[in-house]
């Protein structure tokens, strides 16, 4: 065969011949298509025709040397192959001719081959050493700058942590048995403890830096590795260690905090019970003070009063047990007591029974278990006594005399755990979105039957609408949780009731968002998203529990709503109901302003994109729901219905209020943050993300706004169109935005993300 320089007629077919012969599967039907095109091609001379048809002989295929010569000819052409050209290979061939010859018209016969054989760049781009110009995302924004904005004051901590995650111990792999999985996770926890991350939130004297915001930030980053590791870490250092730090006093700190931070003392957080779940105040486990022996007796009184879903139950040697503290026959309410549950040989202590919860939907690297106590005796000093103590004389004493206030104060110190759960859920959503977006930026499907190249999934408006608002929401929730944790960690904030209300609502909407987003990402990746190797399946199983972990979301939303109703000034229960109504008197008697028709009908872009409109709309919804739920409760009480029953009747109304309040809170925090960004380009980007978040939620709740007359049908339609438009406008930057999450490359090992 000919191996010297080619004529123009031959050269234009060389890329096609190389592609169709490279797989050694050239069929007779393919030969027929190519041969028919050559026969009709008037640019081909007789000599060209002879060579080209000879190359189509299956009985005498091109030699390896000929294939190499074709490849060298292609590689040395200095021509780029552009994936998004209408006919990439035909256009590439034309450019090769232009490189060597003066005349280079587009050959429609080559186009027919490309169409009829369905040859696409993903079939052959691995065959060429030439540069392939994909042009799938813009570099107008810098992902490192975006990541730095999100990291904020914790940049150094997060960067160091991400470097440590490069250790091989964090490499992802499928572990099919819970025993092997748990063993590996425990090793990861020991590694992190050795690096000082376990004690991060503790005082310096106990090995920490008192950096709770930094702790929350790395907690989210742990989800980029594995949910089981994150939760095990949270149980050991956040819940067990946090209970000692927040509920104990110096004697407990001196004895246990350093060992806990180093993971030398493994502990569990025994609060939840099978029979009571979210009703912490109603737990049945008892802690009865025995004056004769100056000890506290821990006991599980009934079959369903055992501690349930306790993380670290199989590995720990001590538990923070929440129980009803009974002193001299009087129940002083729920308190936490440190109870050794295993000896130095890791054998269960007398009176302690523990069962493995077994396999779960996710988080199978966490050793959840059930715990029963049968007359287990511990020293009086094991009572975590910051808010309630038993004196050496055997008397109960607390600086907070009101039992209800004391209970909520104790629980309020543990609100940081809910913030971390929300951050973990957000981390799972970020990783799922990064995988789904990266997949959509390379996966092609369908075309318009004119161009040969199929379209990228990310170029479909429907795909943009599925993923882009979720990406925007991640930015809003990231900024919100950073702000909330900073506020919560402020030592000058004595009264934490307001932050409790805020966290209760935010934890709910963010963990629900995370689950919805991960499911959407799974579907957006088709069958590939269902494969374990692509990690979205693990994220689905791991993040699912966050909607009920650290408080059931429905219960927490009601807590948030009750906080709104009471204006954070009184505990919301039947006894405080009159005070609540008195507090709301001004709101109840104050009729909401009638919305101006011009406002209701306004579809102007500047208006729809204006944060003042978004804040007004969100605030209107919160105020209106507050007003109407309070009126309903008042009317029920006037009819003689007990306050508790009145609240049951408006339960769904309370849930709507809690959600509305939380969405308004998140948007307001994000908008305020955006104003502080110094760089105009990034500020504009964050503003656009905020607009998309706001309009997306107004679109989701459009039915309510229409019912209230706040917007009309035309404005509702305009909002929907703007959400679609913004999702499309952000399409060129979507790859940079998910890279802006800062997920290390070594944590994105899903094949479809690479």
Give the DSSP letter string of 119-186.
--HHHHTTT--S-EE---S--SS-HHHHHHHHHGGGHHHHHHHHHHTTSGGG------SHHHHHHHHH
The answer to whether the beta carbons of residues 378 and 290 sit under 8 Å apart is no
Alpha-carbon distances, residue 135 vs 143, 215, 627, 733 (angstroms): 17, 38, 52, 11
Q: In sequence order, what DSSP letters do the residues of 223-265 get, joined into one string?
A: TTT-HHHHHHHIIIIIIIHHHHHHHS-HHHIIIIIHHHHTTSS
The residue annotated as part of the active site, out of 273, 308, 550, 664, is 550
Q: Are 321 and 298 in contact (CB under 8 A)?
A: yes
Enumerate the H helices of 413-526 as residue ranges.
Answer: 415-440, 461-488, 497-524
Find, among 418, 66, 101, 471, the residue nearest to 234 by Cα: 418
Q: How many helices (H) and strands (E) does the chain have?
A: 33, 13
Question: Residue 114: is it exposed, middle or buried by C-beta count within 10 angstroms (0-12/13-18/19+)?
Answer: buried
Rounded Cα distance, 231 and 102, in Å: 67
- What is the CA 666 to chain-centroid distance, rounded? 15
Contact 710, 116 (CB under 8 A): no
CA distances from 488 to 213, 240, 452, 493, 665 (A): 9, 19, 56, 7, 15
Q: Is 401 a residue of the active site?
A: no
Stretch (H or E) spanning 53: helix 46-54
Q: Which amino acids are annotated catalytic?
A: 550
């Amino acid at each position: 065969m000919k191996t010297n320089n080619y004529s123009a007629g031959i050269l234009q077919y060389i890329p096609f011949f190389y592609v169709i012969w490279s797989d050694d599967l050239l069929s007779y039907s393919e030969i027929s298509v190519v041969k028919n095109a050559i026969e009709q091609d008037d640019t081909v001379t007789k000599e060209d025709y002879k060579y080209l048809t000879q190359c189509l002989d299956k009985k005498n295929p091109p030699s390896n040397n000929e294939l190499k010569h074709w490849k060298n000819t292609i590689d040395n052409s200095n021509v780029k192959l552009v994936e998004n050209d209408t006919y990439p290979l035909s256009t590439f061939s034309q450019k090769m001719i232009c490189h060597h010859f003066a005349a280079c018209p587009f050959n429609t016969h080559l186009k027919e081959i490309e169409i009829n054989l369905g040859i696409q760049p993903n079939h052959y781009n691995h065959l060429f050493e030439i540069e392939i110009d994909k042009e799938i995302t813009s570099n107008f924004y810098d992902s490192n700058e975006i990541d730095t904005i999100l990291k904020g004051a914790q940049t150094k901590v997060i960067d160091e942590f991400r470097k440590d995650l490069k250790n091989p111990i964090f490499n992802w792999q499928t572990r099919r048995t819970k025993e092997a999985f748990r063993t590996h996770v425990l090793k990861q926890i020991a590694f992190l403890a050795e690096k000082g991350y376990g004690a991060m939130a503790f005082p310096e004297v106990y090995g920490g830096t008192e950096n709770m915001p930094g702790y929350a930030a790395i907690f989210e980053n742990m989800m980029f590795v594995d949910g089981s590791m994150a939760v095990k870490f949270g149980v050991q250092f956040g819940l067990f260690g946090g209970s000692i730090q927040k509920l104990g006093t110096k004697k407990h700190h001196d004895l246990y905090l350093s060992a806990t931070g180093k993971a030398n003392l493994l502990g569990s957080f025994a609060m939840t019970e099978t029979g009571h779940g979210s009703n912490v105040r109603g737990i049945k486990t008892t802690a009865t003070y025995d004056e004769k022996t100056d000890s506290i007796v821990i006991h599980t009184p009934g079959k369903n009063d055992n501690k349930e879903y306790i993380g670290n139950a199989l590995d720990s040697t001590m538990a923070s047990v929440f129980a009803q503290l009974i002193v001299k026959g009087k129940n002083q309410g729920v308190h936490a007591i440190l109870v050794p549950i295993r000896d130095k040989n890791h054998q269960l202590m007398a009176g302690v029974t523990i069962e493995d919860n077994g396999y779960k939907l996710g988080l199978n690297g966490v050793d959840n278990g059930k715990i029963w106590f049968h007359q287990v005796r511990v020293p009086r000093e094991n009572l975590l006594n910051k808010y309630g103590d038993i004196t050496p004389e055997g008397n109960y004493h607390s600086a907070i005399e009101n039992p209800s206030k004391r209970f909520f104060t104790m629980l309020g110190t543990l609100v940081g755990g809910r913030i971390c759960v929300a951050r973990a859920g957000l981390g799972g959503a970020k990783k799922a979105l990064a995988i789904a977006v990266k997949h959509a930026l390379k996966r092609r499907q369908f075309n318009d039957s004119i161009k040969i190249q199929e379209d990228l999934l990310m170029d479909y408006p429907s795909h943009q609408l599925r993923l882009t608002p979720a990406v925007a929401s991640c930015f809003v929730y990231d900024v919100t949780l950073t702000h909330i944790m900073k506020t919560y960690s402020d030592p000058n904030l004595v009264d934490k009731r307001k932050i409790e209300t805020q966290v209760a609502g935010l934890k709910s909407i963010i963990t629900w968002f995370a689950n919805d987003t991960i499911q959407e990402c799974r579907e957006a990746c088709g069958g590939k998203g269902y494969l374990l190797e692509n990690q979205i399946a693990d994220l689905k199983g791991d993040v699912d529990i966050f909607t009920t972990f650290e408080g059931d979301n429905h219960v927490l939303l009601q807590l948030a709503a009750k906080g709104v109703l009471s204006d954070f000034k009184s505990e919301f229960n039947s006894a405080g109901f009159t005070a609540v109504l008195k507090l709301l008197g001004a709101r109840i008697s104050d009729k909401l302003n009638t919305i101006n028709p011009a406002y209701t009908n306004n579809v102007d872009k500047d208006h729809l994109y204006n944060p003042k409109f978004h804040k007004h709309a969100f605030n209107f919804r919160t105020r209106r729901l507050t007003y109407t739920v309070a009126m309903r409760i008042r009317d029920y009480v006037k009819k003689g219905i007990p306050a508790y029953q009145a609240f049951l009747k408006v339960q769904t109304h309370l849930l709507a209020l809690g959600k509305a309040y939380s969405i308004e809170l998140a948007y307001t925090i994000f908008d305020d943050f955006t104003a502080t960004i110094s760089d105009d380009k990034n500020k504009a980007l964050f503003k656009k993300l905020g607009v998309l978040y706001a309009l997306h939620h107004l679109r989701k709740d459009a039915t309510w706004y229409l019912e209230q007359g706040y917007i009309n049908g035309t404005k509702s339609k305009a909002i929907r169109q703007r959400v679609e438009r913004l999702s499309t406008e952000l399409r060129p930057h979507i790859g940079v935005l998910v890279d802006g999450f800062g997920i290390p490359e070594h944590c994105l090992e899903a094949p479809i993300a690479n």
